[in-house]
Amino acid sequence: MEIPISYETLRVLWWGLLGVLLIGFAATDGFDFGVAGLLPFVAKTDAERRVAINTVGPTWEGNQVWFILGGGAIFAAWPMVYAVSFSGLYLAMFVLLAALILRPVGFKYRSKREDKRWRAMWDWALFTGGFVPALLFGVAVGNVLVGVPFRLDENLRAFWEGSFFDLLNPFAILCGLLSVTMMGLHGAAWLSMKAEYGPVRDRARTLAPVFAIASIVLFAGGGLAMAYGPYGFAQVGEVDPAGPSNPLRTETVAAAGAWLANYASHPWMILAPVLGFGGAFAALIGLRLNSESITFIGSKLSTFGIISTAGLSMFPFILPSSLDPNSSLTVWNSSSSQLTLFIMLIVTAIFLPIILAYTAWAFKVMWGRVTTEDVTSGGDYY
Amino acid sequence: MIDMEVADLSRWQFALTAMYHFLFVPLTLGLAFMLAIMESVYVMTGRQVWKDMTKFWGALFGINFALGVSTGITMEFQFGMNWSYYSHYVGDVFGAPLAIEGLMAFFLEATLVGLFFFGWDRMSKQAHLAVTWFMALGTNLSALWILIANGWMQNPVGSQFNPETMRMEVTDFMAVLFNPVAQAKFVHTVAAGYVTGALFVLAISAWFLLQRRHRGFAKRSMTVAAAFGLMGSLSVVVLGDESGYALTHNQRMKLAALEAMWETHEAPAPLTLVGFPDVENQTTHFAVDVPWVLGLIATRSLDSEVEGILPLVAIAETRVENGILAYDALQRLRADETDTEARAQFEETKFDLGYALLLTRYIADPREATPDQIRQAAFDTIPDVPVMFWSFRFMAGIGFYMILLFGTAFVLCTLRRHETRWFLWVALISLPLPWVAAELGWLLAEYGRQPWIIEGMLPTFMGVSSLNATQIWMTIAGFTALYGALAVIEVMLMLHFIRKGPYAGKGGDAARRPTHKPAASDGGMAPVPAE
């Protein structure tokens, strides 16, 4: 069969789709993580906690699929990236999984019994399930920007040198905190829109500006580190964008400051960091103007901008190697075959709009503030 | 060379997490459709008891679903974590159905499950019913795509090895989609799920009836379970037979092993009912044979042979030798891509490359293998015969027992003799059996495929990540602790809900005290007898 789209185009499209999935995840499940992480701070009594939990109750499950689909899509479109990163970040992935396993169970089981200790236990599980993944996602992205310590042998088997604690370098921690404040802002913006007028909403609105300002500061700090720190990689010589997916065929070197080079050659990319800052400012303005939709949309745009910034800065790199730069994985050397990318593109083109349609419908059906009366009247609430 | 301890530990962890995950999946598959059926009756008749049924079984569905989803996250990520080389080697083929599962099925299921629980008062009855049906459809579609992925591991069609990228790549996606093994496995697996869901409802209804609680509710539930379970149990056996037919074409070794058939028997082959497989002497003691049956099941004819283990080992030995040629050609190609002779040799032998990789367990370069090592590698293609043999017999035995059980239930429900007490006891104590059968089925499918992770293409031990044993011990310990605690909590919560019964918190809770009033609740409305 003749494939009607070139390999190069398909690779760029799938790089973009990977971004769409990550942003879809952060922009939807992000506020679920935020709400779960904020639980002990915005809700003190049992009724308050149930109000907070039920603002995401009917929709978190669908939102979580963005993450699972992200995993599946990386596997299908960027198998080498999936193979190297997940095995290399082994123990971190386990901690992430453990936290993510606690979350669904926490949502579903918490309010099924009256027992106080039972509920307190699940509140902790939910907090862990919200905070830990938010932190780890950022730490992971931070490490990718720094470069991760792996090499590929001639059979393309990956070897990783470095321990769990090496992941906790200062730049990665900065990114982890940014991810926490970003999702914290998102969660607070959501609560402000979905929780009844009362203490939960008030506390969320008090915390929101803290997260917004912290996001701005941390994001700026990340940018300065990019500009002046020893970060960045560059490919040497001719690279065939339609070549076989074999990283060992390209030569790569570490090049400090290279992550900013894309902005010089493609000035439109500057839009991404502008959105990252602008969205957070808009959220602040929304809070001042008492407009919940401006706050929420601002927070979404900020998330979109921040994640895009990380992706665009590295293009065409996806997973650079600090140990052996030549093993680095890029858009041009680590994708699936042209046929697989094409088939997956067709499937995505058909199903993504359908998903967006029924997701929007689900949010619409469940629209409206959650009240104390709702959750205590014994209905179908968590 | 690969550290075999890492390979073994990775296999243990996968077995542990996958089998645990599959404790929840079949119940989700079966209950989802039963909820849709119950709610359909509610929408058609408008009788409240059917809504109560949907909500009560729905609550138990939700408790189960939470763990199904949680443990499913592990499945999606541990290919990359523990089976990194596998993920690289086959991601081009195997990743696609997993991603499509998310796009087509899991998104639907997960989005609608929220509306199923929270949407009762926010949409019309008909819209909610549609939500429930689409949720059920989503769960089943999800199984379809997972089994297309798994079916490809059993029968890797539509793909070939690409020396430039050192991995398997798709050549014919339709072949992967319509893989006969995947199709047979899908229907067999979902039918097993229907049986599990049906027996869950049947057994708990039986328990209510034994206690003379919620009788109208329990009798109706029992009727739905009996009909659905009879349909499911008949399908699971008939479609299991279809799996057997697919095996003869694609996995002859697995079939021979689960029958402990050492030599090729002249057609039509007998089916060994029971016996004691003796691996050392390559024979089966005290075998009780039923003539012709295996030949009929496996080949659908009286004159085709079913091949035995030892002749298949001989075939494997020539494939190992052929694979060494492929390996040699591959090395030459990698040194010089323009070597046309090497390319021709590779094209001719590439489908046996995996057999040469079996040797890497014994020697770094398969080209230097001794004849003994080649013979050893060929013998490695025999799975664990006694385990296969007995797993199959227990699984199939449970399958037939389920037909009997649901057949009886169906007759009793038709005769309106729901409260036949001996049968209620039988139904209750049979509750664990579908889970046992499902786990044994996966044991046959996965353990029976050994030594391959991709049948004939990639040995299991080669698929692992470059981890050390300590790391995997840590995660095995972590998963065991986490999963163990969650299992206890889940069962406690289920029992809590079942004890409270369907009318807890609605004023008419008859849970505490058994009543002897005859069928007071049969009218349909909730509060059963006066308390």
* Per-residue pLDDT tens over the stretch B344-398: 999 999 899 999 999 999 999 999 999 999 999 999 999 998 898 899 989 989 9
Mean pLDDT score, B161-169 = 93
Q: Please, are residues A46 and A119 in contact by the beta-carbon 8 Å criterion?
A: yes
pLDDT of A346 above 50: yes
Quote the CA–CA distance of B385 and B313 in Å, as a whole number: 14
Q: What is the ipTM of this complex?
A: 0.92
**Exposed (0-12), middle (13-18) or buried (19+): which is A371, by Cβ within 10 Å?**
middle
Helix, coil or strand: residue B451? coil
For the stretch B429-454, pLDDT in tens is 999 999 999 999 999 999 999 899 99
pLDDT number for residue B290: 78
Taking an 8 Å cut-off on Cβ atoms, the answer to whether A104 and B100 are in contact is: no
Contacts with A68 from chain B: Cβ below 8 Å: 72-73, 76, 102, 106
A118 interface with B at CB cutoff 8 Å? no
Is the confidence at residue A218, as pLDDT, over 90?
Answer: yes
pLDDT of the residue at B522: 42
Closest by Cβ to A344, choosing from B66, B99, B110: B99
Across the range B207-211, mean pLDDT stands at: 94
d(CA B214, CA B219): 9
pLDDT at residue B246 in the model: 65
Residue B512 pLDDT > 70: no
Domain spans in chain B, listed from the N-terminal domain onward: 19-254+382-506
- Among B92, B99, B482, the residue with its CB nearest the CB of A72 is B99
Question: Mean pLDDT throughout A303-324?
Answer: 93
pLDDT band (50, 70, 90) for residue B508: very low
What pLDDT is attached to residue B507? 44
Give the Cβ contact number of residue B43 at 10 Å.
Answer: 18
B372 or B289, which is more confident? B372
Chain position carrying tokens 């002249």 = B266
Q: Do A104 and B162 touch (CB under 8 A)?
A: no
Is residue B510 predicted with pLDDT exceeding 60? no
Instruction: Answer whether residue B528 shows pLDDT above 50.
Output: no
pLDDT at A323 over 70: yes
Separation in Å, CA B78 to CA A257, A339, B264: 35, 25, 39
Instruction: Among B101, B166, B475, select the one facing A155 at the smallest CB separation.
Output: B166
Q: Where does the pLDDT of residue B530 fall: very low under 50, low under 70, confident under 90, or very high at 90 and above?
A: very low
Residue B34 predicted with pLDDT over 70? yes
Mean pLDDT of chain A: 92
Residues of chain B contacting A111 with CB distance shorter than 8 Å: none
pLDDT above 80 for A123: yes
What is the CB-side half-sphere exposure of residue B446 using CA atoms within 13 A? 17
> Which B positions 125-164 lie with beta carbon below 8 A of chain A?
162, 164
Say if residue B516's pLDDT is above 50.
no
pLDDT averaged over every residue in chain B: 88
| pLDDT score for B277 | 81
Interface contact B111-A379, CB threshold 8 A: no
* A86, A100, A355 ranked by CB distance to B81: nearest: A86
- The answer to whether B96 contacts A76, with C-beta atoms less than 8 Å apart, is yes
- The pLDDT of A333-342, averaged and rounded, is 95
Quick one: pLDDT band at residue A180, thresholds 50, 70, 90? Answer: very high
Residue B248 — very low, low, confident or very high, per pLDDT cuts 50/70/90?
low
Say what percent of chain B tops pLDDT 90: 69
What is the per-residue pLDDT across B102-152, written as a single tens digit (0 to 9) for each? Answer: 999 999 999 999 999 999 989 999 999 999 999 999 999 999 999 999 999
| Residues B129, A357: Cα–Cα separation, whole Å | 19
Name the band, by pLDDT with cuts 50, 70 and 90, for residue A376.
Answer: confident
Question: Which of B69, B104, B131, B496 to mutate to probe the A interface, most A CBs <10 Å?
Answer: B69
Return the CA Rg of chain B.
26
* Average pLDDT, integer, range A94-112: 90
Region B255-270 average pLDDT:
80
Count of beta carbons in the 10 Å neighbourhood of residue B159: 24
Instruction: Using CB atoms, pick whichever of A65, A91, A154 lies closest to residue B102.
Output: A65
- Could you tell me what percent of chain B has a pLDDT over 70? 91
The answer to whether residue B301 scores a pLDDT higher than 80 is no
Give yes or no for residue B519 having a pLDDT over 50.
no
Q: What is the pLDDT of residue A1?
A: 65
The set of long-range contacts for B139-142, using a CB threshold of 8 Å and a minimum separation of 24, is B139/B28, B139/B29, B139/B32, B139/B105, B139/B109, B140/B29, B140/B32, B140/B33, B140/B190, B141/B101, B141/B104, B141/B105, B141/B108, B142/B101, B142/B105, B142/B106, B142/B109
Q: How far is B486 from chain A (nearest CA, A)?
A: 8
Q: Touching check for B112 and chain A: CB below 8 Å?
A: yes
Our CA dihedral for B133, B136, B137, B142, rounded to 10 degrees, sits at 160
Residue type for position B338: T
The whole-angstrom separation of Cα A50 and Cα A6 is 51
| pLDDT for B247 | 65
In the predicted model, is pLDDT for residue A351 greater than 90?
A: yes
Q: What is the pLDDT of residue B523?
A: 40
Contact (Cβ atoms closer than 8 angstroms) between residue B277 and residue B260: yes
Mutate to test the interface with A, among B10, B17, B60, B77 (most CBs of A within 10 A): B77
Q: Are strands A251-254 and A233-236 parallel, antiparallel or unpaired?
A: antiparallel
Residue B525 in this model has a pLDDT that exceeds 70: no
Contact B221, B53 (CB under 8 A): yes
Higher pLDDT, A1 or A326: A326
DSSP classification of residue A326: G
